[in-house]
Amino acid sequence: MTRTKPLSDYPFTCPMEVRYVDVDAMNHVNNAAYVTYLEIARTRLWRERLGFGGSARDFPFIVARVAVDFRSPIGLEDAVTVGVAVTHVGRTSFTFAYRVEASGRLAAEAETVQVAYDYVTGKPMAVGDDLRARLFVLLVR
């Protein structure tokens, strides 16, 4: 996983609203909500920077892996921002790295692996040249 890169190194950032439903009995955002924050940021990236939208089938991938390293709690009052970057583009998959900040401090680092997927055949497929080019614009090392 990408570690300790500042938020400014992420080519896409997305503000996130902490909802009351996200907060658990310990008065902080439940760990499962972090994965939802990643999904929201990934969807906005997909629509706003990668030019895909409409139905879920316009997103030609499935998420094969999610890993989250929790660094500090998020409270209901925190202003949350999620940074997203591409760290790898392979033949049939690509990897996103995330930085989650809460009121300016590191709350989590995460990674998802997406597999290009043909919904008609139900099988993985090669990452197309157009998608590959769009992903490389967001690539960081």
pTM score, whole prediction: 0.92
Q: Is the pLDDT of residue 121 over 90?
A: yes
Question: Residue 119: its pLDDT value, please?
Answer: 85
Question: φ and ψ at 94, to 5 degrees?
Answer: -150, 155
CATH superfamily of 7-136: Hotdog Thioesterase (3.10.129.10)
No. of H helices and E strands in the chain? 2, 6
Mean pLDDT of 123-139: 92
pLDDT tens digits, 33-89: 999 999 999 999 988 988 777 666 667 789 999 999 999 999 999 999 999 999 999
Q: Which of 15, 10, 40 is nearest to 103 (CA)?
A: 15
| Percentage with pLDDT > 90 across the chain | 78
Contact 5, 111 (CB under 8 A): no
Closest-CA residue to 110 (of 22, 31, 46): 31
pLDDT band at 141 (very low <50, low <70, confident <90, very high): confident
Average pLDDT, the chain: 92
Q: Residue 82 CA to chain centroid, in angstroms?
A: 8
